[in-house]
Amino acid sequence: MPATALPAPSPSMAIWSKGGDEAAALVHEFTVGDDYLYDRALAPYDCLGSLAHVAMLAQVGLVPVDQARALSAGLRALHREFIAGAWTVEAADEDVHSKIEGLLTARLGDAGKRLHTGRSRNDQVLTAIRLWQKHELCSAASGVAAAARALLTQARAHEFHPFPGYTHWQRAMPSSLGMFFATHAQALVDDLALFDGAFALADSCPLGSGAGYGVGLPLDRPMTATLLGFARVGLAGADGNGRGKVETAVLDALGAVVNDLSRLAADLVFFTSAECGFFTIGAGFTTGSSIMPQKRNLDLFELLRGRASRFLGLRTGLYATTIGLPSGYSRDLQDTKALCIDGVRLARQGLAVVAAAVPTLVP
Q: Is 168 a catalytic residue?
A: yes
pLDDT at residue number 213: 87
* 309 a catalytic residue: no
pLDDT tens track for 238-265: 777 778 899 999 999 999 999 999 999 9
Class of domain 22-117: mainly alpha
Q: How confident is the model at residue 8 (pLDDT cuts 50, 70, 90)?
A: very low
Residues of the chain with CATH 1.10.275.10: 22-117
> At 21, is the pLDDT very low, low, confident or very high (cuts 50, 70, 90)?
low
pLDDT in tens, 204-238: 999 999 988 889 999 999 999 999 999 999 988 77
Every domain range in the chain assigned CATH 1.20.200.10: 123-217+235-360
Summarize pLDDT for 63-89 with one digit per residue, the tens.
999 999 999 999 999 999 999 999 999
Residue 354, CB half-sphere, CA atoms under 13 Å: how many?
38
Mean of pLDDT values over 80-107: 94
Q: Among 10, 273, 289, 309, which one carries the catalytic annotation?
A: 289
Q: Quickly name the fold that domain 123-217+235-360 has.
A: Fumarase C; Chain A, domain 2 (1.20.200)
Q: How confident is the model at residue 9 (pLDDT cuts 50, 70, 90)?
A: very low
What is the pTM assigned to this prediction? 0.90
Catalytic residue, from 168, 209, 273, 330: name it.
168
